[in-house]
Structure 1
Amino acid sequence: LNMNRNIFLRSTRPTLASICRLFSAATMDPAAGAVVKTRSGGGGGAATDKREARGASVAGGRDTLGGRLLSLMYTKRSAVVTIRKWKEEGHSVRKYELNRIVRELRKIKRYKHALEICEWMVLQEEIKLQPGDYAVHLDLISKIRGLNSAEKFFEDLPDQMRGHAACTSLLHSYVQNKLSDKAEALFEKMAECGFLKSCLPYNHMLSMYISNGQFEKVPAMIKELKSKTSPDIVTYNLWLTAFASGNDVEAAEKVYLKVKEADLSPDWVTYSVLTNLYSKTDNLEKAKLALKEMEKLVSKKNRVAFASLISLHGNLGDKDGVNLTWKKIKSSFKKMNDAEYLSMISAVVKLGEFEQAKGLYDEWESVSGTRDARIPNLILGEYMKRDEILLGEKFYERIVEKGINPSYSTWEILARGYLKRKDMERVVDCFGKAIDSVKKWTVNERLVKEVCKELEEQGDVKGAEKLMTILQKAGHVNTQLYNSLLRTYAKAGEMALIVEERMAKDNVELDDETKELIRLTSRMRVTEISSTIS
């Protein structure tokens, strides 16, 4: 085992590069992993300096380094400058204190300041960093500067620091970036080197497989985990989620019993998964019981659970539960976050309380600066669902005026609204904008079929050709789409020219229907559109 480990530490660069192009020179950021002294950003002025110097109130208002760092109000402000000033005032800086502050900053997603602290610690000769410190550092680099920089940082680590902690952190980055091949290659190499010492890397892999819908890989991963170490509650929750995704109540309940047998305490996630499963499978009494158990475990310490609570009450049609949970959140926190508004607005829309939903949106718009398009999309979607197209268009104009960039879902919602009105020119226009709004389009087969069907019924050759151009650009053309185009020409009584040549250019094969449609349309009239295409 030691020999394997040493081989891994000496040969990480070439081995992983050949397996999964981990450290490809073409993708490396040459500045990655370098320790940078961050200058203080502008903005805020003297008043901000005073507020930050006073710091967050800790233990009755004591001035602490943690308080100062946690109260930095702008990302442009420098954690390094704050630490330096603290030292200049004669205070000491201890590693354990900085580690605690980094943990707190990560919890509240203040990754930039956390990274600055890690980089400052690397420069201090008197601070002896451990493998876990570098693992945290790597994770923060991945979040702030991207995966290429994180890989470069990993490559440049001292051999003795490139062990299971750093590898697990890199594995987590691969999973978060949905890089299955790299994750599996690294996991395999970690297994060879004896780095699978805890359930954490297994949990990362389980999370990836579940996210990708690769549920068939879950049992083998669980079995391997059990042969090496003991599952924790996160493992069991992921296992539950896998069965819940397939609505397998019996299997999920067996996993829940295993939690009890393992002498582990179910957490709020456990009961959230069970509540959702029971709700989907119409086991309403069991769902209510599971939800009650979940509520016992929800507190200010696990704030993220509140959004889940609202959604689950909404799924059960429990209007009082939704409103009581919202009231509890408001009494517990000074400001609601986007996830909570998203869950609340979604729940009340589902419960038919659209006026309440619009009021909540107005509230969110007045207090949030995130411009998260998911939240207005809920209101826009309901307008379109109600066939209130003019009000929906007016609302769309409002969100654009507020500086909210339309997302893929925004355009898809508009496209579906116009599709109900059979306004195909606008449908195709919105469809094109939807695809243009994302780097890689995940094909929505159902929407494509619905749009094609309506274009066929209207004999809208111009719209069908425009749709074909959009789908060609997105790399999604096939025999069925060409057949739909030909049926549209046939409906319009027009000849479709050079279809076989176009299909050959797109590497699309003709089937029997294609040949018959070409024969049928060849006897029809040539129009301006078909001439233009040719």
Structure 2
Amino acid sequence: MLVRIVRTALAAGRHFSTETVAKTTTSANASSGGRDTLGRRLLSLVYPKLSAVIAINKWKEEGHTVRKYELNRIVRELRKLKRFKHALEICEWMKIQPDMKLLPGDYAIHLDLIAKIRGVASAEKFFVDLPEKMRGQAACSALLHTYVQNKLSAKAEALMKKMKESGLVKNCLPYNHMLSLYISDGELTKVPEVIQELKNNTSPDVVTFNLWLTACASENDVESAEKVFLELKRAKIVPDWVTFSVLTNLYIKEELLDKAASTMKEMEKRISRRDRVAYSSLISLHTNVGDKDGVKRIWKKAKSTFNRMNDSEYTCMISSLLKLEDFKEAQDLYTEWESVSGTGDSRVPNLILAAYINKNEMDGAEKFYNRIVERGIKPSYTTWELLTWGYLKKKEMDKVLDSFLKALGSVKKWDPDDKMVKEVFEILEEEGNTEGAEQLLFTLKKAGHISTEIYNMLLRTYVKAGKMPLIVAERMASDKVELDEETQRLIKLTSKMCISEVSSNVC
């Protein structure tokens, strides 16, 4: 969480809700006296399938002038709103205009957008195809950022080396990218070396110090973190809310609650409308120290600051209330979310569903699930996974298998949950439920998750039932699964038992 917060400072912009999009557009309209502007038209293209190029060309056809500085401003706004496709379309349109003189920074932004929309390989090709004079510090830093975001350590290090050799490391940004990479990868031993090299060649900024503090926090090193903070103050760099968020997390982890309370107060002084994500971070910190009043106060402050709260903010607050064991208030807040959000994001109701299941209230969980469906919210893999675990606790195996099958059917590629598979098989074995075991094996086979251990769990279920499965060895050979000593032992053991009708039917 801490690395993600700090890394946001290195990214192109931050996320705003749909309401913010509307507000941004309204503000632009107000500043232009409600006039029709190119910015207004482009910012109103909410749906990705709509074309920014068509909107620009239409503007020109109507006799209006298209100015580079205006398009640059619009691209900045679109990047803040994470509307990368339209931002890229504008950059590509600008690139082919003979009367627009693009600067190195324009190409750097273009490269970053290509990486986000089309991937690393396309960004690399764009970089190679650039005129040599445009492959300078800005473009190299953008490519380095792409490598860091995609955790391509070898490529990032190779590019950083070339930048140093070419004299293109003129500020702390490339070093900050490398710090972010090493912290994210857990290579904390490389952090001091990068910091020292940075100091030798340029000056650190607040992001540098925040990353350095994050590295200290990752090692639970309070003493080092406090030394870094003192160095920040000696350098006369103004700490931001992230600085105090990192320190607060560390103090809470080390149970230094008086210090945590102090840094939280400093953090709250520094949050503003521009730092929307800071409100959720502060709510989580108050939750972690069990300060329910603080949680409610910050939530109230956030609601008075912004017209509407977005899904991630409701998710944060509902999670906090559940962690503070205020289930009733969490339910009430979920009802509020239902009334104001039209996203249908199942991650929000999944929080309440999980709470019912953790409380072993499966009747309540089922009723709530029905409510989700009635509201038109499509259940996700997590929804079905939660229900599977809930039914497992109750040993309602028909419902377990049904939910598990639906969970697998809700994803294109399943990331196997071996613990769940093992627990389902253990209960089936305990009951001697060979029909359920065969159904589970068939479901796992369809999901591409079949192994020697899964066949052994199937065979143990037959042993418990006192039945003999047919042609297990042949079935395993067909599935390209090897037999081990345990398989041989179980097959030998079941060969003395009566033939199973289930196995006969399956074969």
Q: TM-score band, normalised by the shorter chain?
A: 0.7 to 0.9
**1:415–1:428 Cα contact (<8 Å) kept:** yes
* 2:40 is the counterpart of 1:68: yes
2:263 to 287, 290, 311: 290
Give 2:277's match in structure 1, choosing from 294, 299, 304: 304
TM-score normalized by structure 2? 0.81
Equivalent position of 2:96 in the other structure:
123
Whether contact under 8 Å (2:303, 2:309) holds in the other structure is yes
Q: How far is 1:341 from its partner?
A: 0.9
Residues 283, 299 of structure 2: 8 Å contact kept: yes
Specify the code of the residue in structure 2 equivalent to 1:188. A
> Which residue does 2:327 correspond to in 1?
354
Tell me, yes or no, if structure 1 residue 321 matches structure 2 residue 291: no
Aligned to 1:223: 193
Partner of 2:460: 487
Distance 1:515 1:237, change over 3 A: farther
- Give 3-state SS (helix, strand or coil) of 2:106's partner: helix
Q: Distance in 2 between matches of 1:207 and 1:434?
A: 35
- Greater shift, 237-246 or 461-470, is seen at 237-246
Secondary structure of the equivalent of 2:356?
helix
Alignment of 1:95-494 (within 5 A): 95-145=68-118, 149-176=122-149, 178=150, 180=151, 182=152, 184-192=154-162, 194=164, 197=169, 198-208=171-181, 210-211=183-184, 214-215=185-186, 217-220=187-190, 223-224=193-194, 226-227=196-197, 229=201, 230-245=203-218, 247-250=220-223, 252-253=225-226, 255-260=228-233, 263-494=236-467
SS in structure 1 of the partner of residue 30 of structure 2: coil
- Structure 2: distance between partners of 1:503 and 1:168: 53
User: Higher mean Cα deviation, 340-349 or 499-508?
Assistant: 499-508
1:22 matched to which residue of 2? none
Distance between the aligned counterparts of 2:484 and 2:225, measured in 1?
A: 45
Q: Distance in 1 between matches of 2:115 and 2:81?
A: 17
CA distance in 1, matches of 2:216, 2:381: 30
User: How far 1:80 sits from its partner (Å)?
Assistant: 4.4
Partner in structure 1 of residue 17 of structure 2: none
Aligned to 2:7: none
**Relative to structure 2, which stretch is displaced further, 336-345 or 236-245?**
236-245
Q: Residue 134 of structure 1: CA displacement?
A: 1.6
Per the TM alignment, residue 383 of structure 1 is displaced from its structure 2 partner at its CA by 2.0
Deviation string 1:21-65 (CA, Å, 9 cap, x unpaired) is xxxxxxxxxxxxxxxxxxxxxxxxxxxxxx989952228x47584
Is this contact kept in 1: 2:182–2:191, CA < 8 A? no
How far the C-alpha of 1:332 sits from its partner, in A, is 0.9
Letter in 2 for 1:74: V
Shifted more, 109-118 versus 255-264: the winner is 255-264
Shift of 1:338: 1.4
Rounded to whole Å, the distance in 2 between the matches of 1:184 and 1:460 is: 51
Counterpart check, 1:522 vs 2:492: no
Post-superposition shift, 1:310?
1.5
| Bigger mean CA deviation after superposition, 490-499 or 75-84 | 75-84
**CA distance in 2 between partners of 1:283 and 1:499 (Å):** 59
State the 1:378 CA deviation. 0.8
- Rate the CA distance shift 1:378–1:189 in 2: closer, same or farther, 3 A: same
CA distance in 1, matches of 2:456, 2:224: 44
2:183, 2:448 → 1: CA distance? 27
- The amino acid that maps onto 1:192 is K
Amino acid at match of 1:363: E
Give the Cα separation in 1 of the matches to 2:158 and 2:43. 42
Q: Unmatched 5+ residue regions in structure 2?
A: 1-23
User: How far is 1:201 from its partner?
Assistant: 4.4
Question: SS where residue 127 of structure 1 aligns?
Answer: coil
| Structure 1 residues 408-455: Cα deviation after superposition (integer angstroms, max 9, x where no partner) | 221211111111111123223323333443444444343333333322
CA distance in 1, matches of 2:230, 2:475: 59
Q: Which moved more, 1:132-141 or 1:217-226?
A: 217-226
Number of residue pairs the alignment of both structures matches: 477
Q: Distance in 2 between matches of 1:493 and 1:267?
A: 68
Alignment partners' CA distance in 1, 2:37 and 2:58: 10
Compute the RMSD of aligned alpha carbons.
Answer: 3.5
Percent of matched pairs sharing the same residue:
58
Judging changes above 3 Å, is the alpha-carbon distance between structure 1 residues 52 and 175 closer, same or farther for their aligned structure 2 residues? closer
Counterpart residue type for residue 110 of structure 2: H
In 1, distance between residues paired with 2:69 and 2:326? 50
